[in-house]
Amino acid sequence: MLNISHNQLHKSVDITKSKSGKRVFHGRYYKYFNQFLAAFAIIGFIILFLPWTQNITGNGNVTTLRPDQRPQTIQSPIPGRIEQWFVSEGDFVAKGDTIMKISEIKSEYFDPNLVARTGQQRDAKAQSVGSYEEKVKALNRQIGALANERGLKLEQAKNKLLQSKLKAQSDSIDFEAAKTNKEIAQRQFDRTVTLQEEGFKATRDVEDKRLKLQETEAKLISQENKLLASKNEILNAQFEISRVNAAYSDKISKAQSDKYTAQSSQFDTEAQVSKLDNQYSNYQMRNNLQFVTAPYDGYINKAIRGGIGQTFKEGEALVGIMPAIVDLAVETFVKPIDLPLLYVGAKVRVQFDGWPAIVFSGWPNVSYGTYGAKVVAVENFISDNGKFRVLLAPDQDEEAWPKDIRAGSGAFTMALLEDVPIWYELWRQLNGFPPNYYKPEGATKTKKK
Residue 218: what residue type? A
In tens, the pLDDT along 199-212 reads: 777 777 778 878 88
In tens, the pLDDT along 226-237 reads: 888 888 888 888
Global pTM reads 0.55
Asked whether residue 17 falls in the same domain as residue 97, the answer is no
The count of other CB atoms within 10 Å of the CB of residue 165 is 15
Asked whether residue 299 falls in the same domain as residue 378, the answer is no
Helices marked H in 16-113 — which ranges? 19-24, 27-47
Torsion angles phi and psi, residue 138, rounded to 5: -65, -40
Last residue of a domain, one of 323, 345, 376: 323
Q: Is the dihedral of CA 219, 222, 226, 227 positive or negative?
A: positive
In tens, the pLDDT along 160-205 reads: 888 888 888 888 888 888 888 888 888 888 888 888 777 777 777 7
The count of other CB atoms within 10 Å of the CB of residue 399 is 10
Three-state DSSP state, 343: coil
Asked whether residue 346 falls in the same domain as residue 429, the answer is yes
In a domain, residue 367? The reply is yes
Asked whether residue 164 falls in the same domain as residue 85, the answer is no
Q: Given pLDDT bands bounded at 50, 70 and 90, which one contains residue 345? A: confident
Asked whether residue 347 falls in the same domain as residue 427, the answer is yes
Last residue of a domain, one of 265, 288, 311: 288
Which residues make beta-bridge pairs with 61? 331, 410
Nearest-angstrom CA–CA distance, 418 and 341: 10
In tens, the pLDDT along 5-41 reads: 666 666 666 666 677 666 666 555 567 777 788 888 8
CATH of residue 375? 2.40.30.170
Asked whether residue 279 falls in the same domain as residue 170, the answer is yes
In a domain, residue 295? The reply is yes
Last residue of a domain, one of 277, 298, 323: 323
- Distance set, CA 306 to CA 20, 27, 314 (Å): 78, 82, 16
* Averaged pLDDT of the chain: 82
Asked whether residue 266 falls in the same domain as residue 239, the answer is yes
CB under 8 Å to 227, separation ≥6 — which residues? 168, 171, 172, 174, 175
Asked whether residue 386 falls in the same domain as residue 433, the answer is yes
Q: Which domain holds residue 98?
A: 72-104+290-323
Q: How many domains does the structure of the chain reveal?
A: 4
Asked whether residue 163 falls in the same domain as residue 17, the answer is no
Q: What percent of the chain has pLDDT over 90?
A: 11
